[in-house]
A and B are shown apart, each in its own frame.
Chain A
Amino acid sequence: MSIDLSQFHQVFFEESLEGLDLMESALMELDVSHADIDIINTIFRSAHSIKGGSATFDFKVISDFTHVLETLLDQIRDGQRKITKDHVDLFLQSVDCLKHLLSLAQDNSLEVTEDASALQKQFEAILEGDSPSVEATSHIVDGSNIESNDSSECWDITFHPSRDMLQTGNDGIRLLSSLKALSDSDIYEITCDVSEVPSFEFLDPEACYFSWKIRCSGDIAYDEIKSVFEWVEDDSDIIISKASPEEPHSMAQPEVAKSDAPAEAVSTPTKKLKGAKPSSENTFIRVGIDKVDELINMVGELVITQSMLSQLSDLVDSAQVPRFGEGISQLEQNTRELQESVMRIRMLPISFSFNRFPRLVRDLSAKLNKNIELNINGESTELDKTVMEKIGDPLVHLVRNAIDHGIEMPEERVKAGKPPMGVITLDAFHQGGHVFIQITDDGKGLNKDILLSKAIDKGLITESQALTMSDEHIYDLIFQPGFSTAKAVTDVSGRGVGMDVVKQNIHALSGSVDIKSKLGYGSTITIRLPLTLAILDGQLIRVGDNIYIFPLVSIVESMECDADNVSLLAGGKRVFKLRDEYVPILSLGEVFNIQSDNTSIDGALMVVVEYSGHKVGVIVDELLAQQQVVIKSLEKNYQQVMGVSGATILGDGMVALILDVQSIVSLFSKQKNIEGISLLSSANKAS
């Protein structure tokens, strides 16, 4: 039988990564001075399972590495060694190292990394330092020095099991037949000694009173015989000796046992429970995300069909079909519930994303010599899996920033009258169909004057703009490309390329981010995210005969264009004076080359939308309803289209395109033969 073990690799990788996460959080939880044995056991088990699995599935590098890790953990677990902070650090590094090794194994490029061999050496040094003796003992009576190259051997074996052998599930008959299977010659004789069997009244049916003498020959090695009795050797008397085939038996009792030894008749009582079924209570099943997405898609279609029927139900004469309306509203409710349940399949608790932070905060605060406590609230708040994956990196960046720039050094804090230990709080909660994530620190807060002067230095704003900017706008400056408040580049927060990317990533998820800060008291960054990416809150708009959808989050405001506020710039560009700002104007009809109702800018309806911090006024013909729409990918079903991020099907069966503000601007710029940036910067210059 040959089984392809690679079919189990994926499961092994998944469970090992889960095990490592578990190990990491247990290590974080561990208080070295009062090490909790349950936590140590959890850590040991994770390492142990990974070692077992990697050895079984032939990832030797991983099993070798985990072996030293496990050995040290085993000694700690047995109380032979006290766990120290250095051990914990080493174990944490090993977690990272193992994650790396696993990813290499996944790519079929497993090899010993420098990290792994360096860590392994450190573990070996600890283990050799004052190694508590661990020896494997083997008890077998005599014979271990017997060696022979002779292909045919004759062996005499005396096997005297303990009385309670049967109660360990071992069975003389099975042992003897295993032994027989080794022998390939005719010489296989068994003599059963029944002299110890008591009279019937004293007979314990569960005890084994027999002993056996066996003579077997053939191409049998000593170790092979030994391994047959491996499981019973500790509590049995076993003598294995070489015999010469000619030598007569020196066995006392000549009674030859047949294969039906009476004492073995005590067989396992087999009783069947009626209707009892084996229940392997696995509460989770693993399902491919594509299957779930297909289901979500189908339900999306169902929602569309349902809303089509709802619209048609108005045409049905309720007198003729009295219960039609009732049925339709029931269908509507059921579809909505179905949709919610299906969406929930993709939801994961945010702890999946949050659980990396205790480690991050610990490592970074140690590196920066800061004293920081991390509080996490709302870990069970659920979020779409894709959203979760994409928000991970931005969150890490924001937390790193809070540690690096937010929290002050302990001395500085004491001077400011604050406790030396800084606090960073991560919060997650649901509110109004959105998920909110808040990162709060009690550090020094953002200094508006520094932000402004820096922004002026970098040419992001003018001095006159600086005078009129609201707090909100000032804080928002840190999200501008090329803006960094760190005086020196550190390897913790990087070089200021991050915050604009953070904002972009959050926007790409149809989310938003804002900052509140108080100088000397700390800052709070709030991220608002949609519950799911499959559904979008949309604003329906009309241009000519076409209906388009703006994501609601991108809309700032809508207004009627007043010609007095519109200025014409060189190159046919128009800008609108929106209070203190100049906003470039583009007409959707022009961009998509379709006939729109209004030809004059005066009195036209303008939707002010925002992307990456820039505002653009988009001229449309009419604002229609706001509704939730199910997003259909154009790329998957057709191809990528400039200016459009996806499509949806409306209640009446019509297809409407969902607009992508950023690419509309670049489309418009291309048509006008100008750079997107210059469109906006010219608006800035106009001010």
Chain B
Amino acid sequence: MAKVLVVDDSASMRQMVSFALKSAGHSTIEAEDGKKALDICSQVGSIDLVLTDVNMPVMDGITLVKNLRGMPSFKFTPILMLTTESSADKKTQGKAAGATGWIVKPFTPDKLVSTVARVL
């Protein structure tokens, strides 16, 4: 059981991802943009996995990854980006920012859980 931070500006995606992860026995915290995610991270101190959307208002996913990698407690934390297949360069940007990997949207709850299992 791991503590997972789910960052997405779409409420339906957040709910779906959280539900799938909770069904797999994980606990989740939700944030609707990168800024809120960053606030949560600095308050909570440790998180086992961050799943983040790329395109979000206020602060996007790539900026979030860069910021998290600059925080000692999140230097090695697995961070997966939720991207669409069309954004090939986003994957590269995400990797360059320090993301662990990505999950390509659309994904099924099963695919999500099995991918998450690879980094936990």
Contacts and interface: CB of A to CB of B under 8 A. Distances in A.
Contacts of A174: 118-119
B51 to A, nearest CB: 12
Nearest to B10: A49
Nearest to A286: B11
A280 interface: yes
A580 interface: no
Contacts of B106: 52, 55-56, 63
Contact of B99 (A45, A168, A271): A168
A45 B56 contact: yes
Interface in A614-638: none
B12 A11 contact: yes
Contacts of B46: 268-272
B16 A5 contact: yes
A685 B115 CA distance: 83
A103 interface: no
A175 to B, nearest CB: 8
A15 B45 contact: no
A282 interface: yes
Interface in B42-71: 43-46, 53, 55-57, 69
A518 B119 CA distance: 73
Nearest to A77: B55
A174 B119 CA distance: 6
A48 B98 contact: no
Contact of B55 (A15, A48, A71, A137): A48
Interface in A585-612: none
A276 B55 contact: no
Contacts of B53: 52
Given A234-B92, A266-B76, A273-B45, A169 B13 contact: no
B108 to A, nearest CB: 8
Contacts of B110: 1-2
Interface string A1-23: 11101011101101100000000
A14 B45 CA distance: 33
Nearest to B79: A169
A70 B15 contact: no
Contacts of B100: 168-170, 231
Interface string A339-367: 00000000000000000000000000000
A57 B19 CA distance: 14
Contacts of B95: 168, 231, 234-235
B19 A3 contact: yes
Interface string A251-269: 0000000000000001111
Given A168-B98, A169-B79, A53 B55 contact: no
A487 B24 CA distance: 68
Interface string B8-28: 011111011001100110000
Contacts of A279: 39-40, 43
A274 to B, nearest CB: 10
Given A169-B77, A268-B76, A269-B73, A1 B24 contact: yes
Instruction: Among B11, B45, B82, B98, find the residue whose CB has the most chain A CB atoms closer than 10 A.
Output: B11
Contacts of A74: 86-87
A12 B17 CA distance: 13
B23 A1 contact: yes
A273 B44 contact: yes
Contacts of A550: none
A68 B79 CA distance: 29
Contacts of A9: 12
Contacts of A231: 95, 100-102
Contacts of B86: 67, 70-71, 74
A198 interface: no
A277 interface: yes
Contacts of B73: 268-271
Nearest to A276: B43
B96 to A, nearest CB: 9
Instruction: Among A7, A279, A280, A281, find the residue whose CB has the most chain B CB atoms closer than 10 A.
Output: A280
Contact of A42 (B32, B40, B57, B69): B57
Contacts of B72: 269
Contacts of B10: 12, 15, 49, 52-53
A169 B76 CA distance: 5
Instruction: Among B57, B86, B92, find the residue whose CB has the most chain A CB atoms closer than 10 A.
Output: B86
7 contacts: A1-B20, A168-B98, A169-B119, A170-B78, A272-B46, A276-B44, A280-B40
Given A1-B113, A9-B12, A53-B13, 16 more contacts: A1-B23, A11-B11, A15-B11, A55-B106, A57-B12, A67-B86, A166-B76, A170-B101, A171-B78, A266-B76, A268-B73, A268-B74, A272-B46, A280-B29, A280-B30, A282-B32
Interface of B: 9-13, 15-16, 19-20, 23-24, 29-32, 36, 39-40, 43-46, 53, 55-57, 69, 72-79, 82, 84-88, 92, 95, 98-102, 105-107, 109-110, 113, 118-119
Closest 10 CB pairs of A and B: A231-B101, A169-B100, A55-B106, A12-B12, A169-B78, A56-B106, A11-B12, A136-B88, A278-B29, A273-B45
